[in-house]
Structure 1
Amino acid sequence: MQLRLKIVLLTILPLLLAMSALGTLVVHRADRLAEQQAVLIEDSLYRAKQAELQHYVQLALTAIDPLYRSGRSDAATQEQAKRILSGISYGDDGYFFAYDLAGKNLVHPRKPELVGRNLWDLTDPHGRHVIRSLLNKARHGGGFQRYEWEKPTTRKMSEKLGYVVLLERWGWMIGTGVYLDDVERAIRASRDKARANVHATLWDIAAVALGAVLLVFAGGLALNVSEQRVADKKLKVLAQRLVNSQEQERARVSRELHDGISQLLVSTKFQFELVQHKLESGGLDVQEALNKGLAGLTEALGEVRRVSHDLRPSALDMLGLSAALGQLASEFEQRTGTRVVVGNRLGDLVLPDLEAVALFRIAQEAFTNIERHAGAKSVALELGCVDRTIRLAITDDGCGFDVEDVSRSTTGGIGLHNIRERVEHLGGTLVLTSTSAGTLLEVTLPLRSEEAHHAS
């Protein structure tokens, strides 16, 4: 082969391979970021729906509170309460329902034919016992339940999130629900937009690749000694352009992830403010509850921004695992006021990056769960190395939870599932015990001695 052709081929082939690899990497990273974005959107919308339902049920309880607090339980009083609940609605599909503890419907303004019927054995298209599950939530202090129910405006079955509470003296379960069509649409739109961005990026990469190939080919046709030097210089420029293109694409995807979620949450905040305005116009004293909801939403916005910039724990790279965990505990103590005792017996041992990141993420998840759910007054964190095994133990004196129930749940316990997957991936063991006196999370990982070393 002529030298000219050899140089052209040696230039074009690596360029095409690099572009192909770059395109594959962009697709893979974009798909993963799109899925993470969808999960975050679903979680934020789901939490917003839960807060919305709690406010609505509180509104209904406020409406019948004078009757319930009167101490009367006669039929006339209860009939008056039923009329009040039947007359309250919100939006196009929002209404309140009531059942007795045997499953008999007492109030249903959108389907009056159900009033008086016992729906204990009613199931949705997925086989879920709707009324039975709602009553179980109410008996345990109230809670949320997902099921399918006919949507009044469309007359079609649709996924719904219900929230119920128990009026113990009357033996009533009162609740309401919101349909989740908008959540599904938002997630679907997010995925569609991510796919469109990936396609546009691939076309851009293809255009850059085509232009680069044509440029190299044209230079090869007029090759001489001086042109060879110019070609070498151009190849270096192209290589740098590839690196810059890759970094710019990563920055763009990260920026869109951050701005998109933030704008979505801001939009949701405006909706709450609109609800606040409507309720204020009605003269109902729900100002304090709405203000708390808005404050929580504002805090969620700050959390999303923090997570978007926390793709890699910089403290771990700069300070090492022991110092990073100490900083994490200190920030948690300052933020929540909960006392944290750190016991570090790892010394100056530097762990492999994979194990260090995994333990740091596990500790982050544990502190997040304690802050959100435990109501603990003190937390203890212990880190040490025993018999070529790294041990991390986090103990709190909070209210505890049912470990088996959370492990079996399909809608909760995501953080616990993530911890289990991290530990199993590294060949370690996880021990989680919880009682009303507190919770213990203990993780042990085998130490890869060939990668671990002592700090100099």
Structure 2
Amino acid sequence: MSYKQIKWLILIIPTLVTGVWEYVRHQFLLPVISMQFGNYLTPVLVFAVTITLLYRLFAIYENMQEELKKEREEKAVFKERERIARELHDGIAQTLFLCSVKLNRLREKYPDADLVSVDQHLRQIHDDVRQAIFNVKTASSLPSQVWQKQLETWFHLFETDTGIAVRKKIDLEESRLSPKEKIELFACIREAFTNIRKHSGARQVDCRLSSCPGGWKLVIEDDGKGFCGDPFASPTSFGLKIMQERARQIGAVLSFTREQEKTKLIIQKEGGEIGIPLPYPDRR
């Protein structure tokens, strides 16, 4: 049933019910029901029949409105991601390429200069920017219905690129996540895995997404060396703070725990137990 048909039915049904009732009342029920009692009965009967018939139409109408709102939100997010990816490519990536060209010229002009560390840092920044462009474009190119497949593809690419084994278990229906939750969760997973690759020295990562009373729970566990002190107090913890803010925007809580030589990052929305950061001396 189309949006236009629903609107017309909502307008027509009350009038049609009133007309049918009045015709039946005057043609067949006058010997049984007095005119005065019939006048009292008319609004009650029309209200009851109208509510019965229109209740489902209103429900369908509200569902269509909600789906339309979600579709608009998704399109807005995808357009913004495409814009960011384009700006990253046309701005920062091109600037980094120009810097690498100038660095090569410096190396030719001053062959004895120690530019190895500068070159390594520049390459690392360039790789990070290219990965960011890839992440943004990947997230905006696939519809939300294949979010889980997109996630599994990213896990496979991570394993191939880093050699770190990834075990994943997703026991949550995609329909329970809003478009914004899918985007923010995917971004948090990417950031967490990037930190693991850069800092932990882990050989294996477990990623579990499951439902819990009133919400969901994401757990990312690695067998790396852990944190040293408060991870959020480090001057290099910008990525962690971004993850914390992303979690807050979708009504979730981010926390860390360290148990049995493994570090857990937990992002949880609503019910269930939430991990509490503990002062383990061997944290990363």
TM bracket, shorter-chain basis: 0.5 to 0.7
Cα distance in 1 between the residues matched to 2:179 and 2:100: 39
| 3-state SS in 2 of match to 1:368 | helix
Contact 1:272 1:294 in 2 (8 A): no
Q: 1:415 aligns with which of 225, 239, 250?
A: 239
Contact 1:401 1:436 in 2 (8 A): no
**Could you say if the C-alpha distance between residues 251 and 366 of structure 1 is closer, same or farther in structure 2, counting changes exceeding 3 Å?**
closer
Contact 1:392 1:443 in 2 (8 A): yes
Of structures 1 and 2, the one scoring higher in RCO (CA 8 A, sep 6+) is 2
Structure 2 match to 1:261: 92
Q: Shift of residue 336 of structure 1?
A: 0.9
Q: Shift of residue 445 of structure 1?
A: 1.1
Contact 1:432 1:442 in 2 (8 A): yes
Aligned residue identity for 1:378: Q
Structure 1 match to 2:224: 398
Contact 2:168 2:208 in 1 (8 A): yes
Q: 1 or 2, which has the higher helix percentage? A: 2
**Could you say if the C-alpha distance between residues 268 and 438 of structure 1 is closer, same or farther in structure 2, counting changes exceeding 3 Å?**
farther
Q: 1:272 aligns with which of 100, 103, 108?
A: 103
Gaps of 5+ in 2: 1-78, 272-284
Aligned residue identity for 2:146: L
| 3-state SS in 2 of match to 1:400 | coil
Matched ranges for 1:261-410 at <5 A: 261-280=92-111, 282=112, 292=120, 295-296=123-124, 298-300=126-128, 302-303=130-131, 305-306=133-134, 309-310=137-138, 312-315=139-142, 317-320=144-147, 322-347=148-173, 349-404=175-230, 406-409=231-234
Q: Deviations over 1:70-94 (max 9, x none)?
A: xxxxxxxxxxxxxxxxxxxxxxxxx
| 3-state SS in 2 of match to 1:401 | coil
Contact 2:213 2:270 in 1 (8 A): no
Identity %: 28
Q: Shift of residue 253 of structure 1?
A: 8.1
**Could you say if the C-alpha distance between residues 421 and 287 of structure 1 is closer, same or farther in structure 2, counting changes exceeding 3 Å?**
closer
**Could you say if the C-alpha distance between residues 314 and 432 of structure 1 is closer, same or farther in structure 2, counting changes exceeding 3 Å?**
farther
Q: Shift of residue 366 of structure 1?
A: 0.7
Q: Shift of residue 296 of structure 1?
A: 3.6
Q: Deviations over 1:217-265 (max 9, x none)?
A: xxxxxxxxxxxxxxxxxxxxxxxxxxxxxxx999888645531212211
Cα distance in 1 between the residues matched to 2:80 and 2:208: 40
| 3-state SS in 2 of match to 1:343 | strand
Gaps of 5+ in 1: 1-247, 448-456
Aligned residue identity for 1:335: D
Aligned residue identity for 2:134: R
**Could you say if the C-alpha distance between residues 300 and 343 of structure 1 is closer, same or farther in structure 2, counting changes exceeding 3 Å?**
closer
Root-mean-square deviation (Å): 3.4
Contact 2:218 2:266 in 1 (8 A): yes
**Could you say if the C-alpha distance between residues 374 and 436 of structure 1 is closer, same or farther in structure 2, counting changes exceeding 3 Å?**
farther
Contact 2:172 2:211 in 1 (8 A): yes
Q: Deviations over 1:266-299 (max 9, x none)?
A: 122123223433452x3x7x68767655654553
**Could you say if the C-alpha distance between residues 377 and 262 of structure 1 is closer, same or farther in structure 2, counting changes exceeding 3 Å?**
same
Q: Deviations over 1:20-72 (max 9, x none)?
A: xxxxxxxxxxxxxxxxxxxxxxxxxxxxxxxxxxxxxxxxxxxxxxxxxxxxx
| 3-state SS in 1 of match to 2:224 | coil
| 3-state SS in 1 of match to 2:202 | coil
Aligned residue identity for 1:306: F
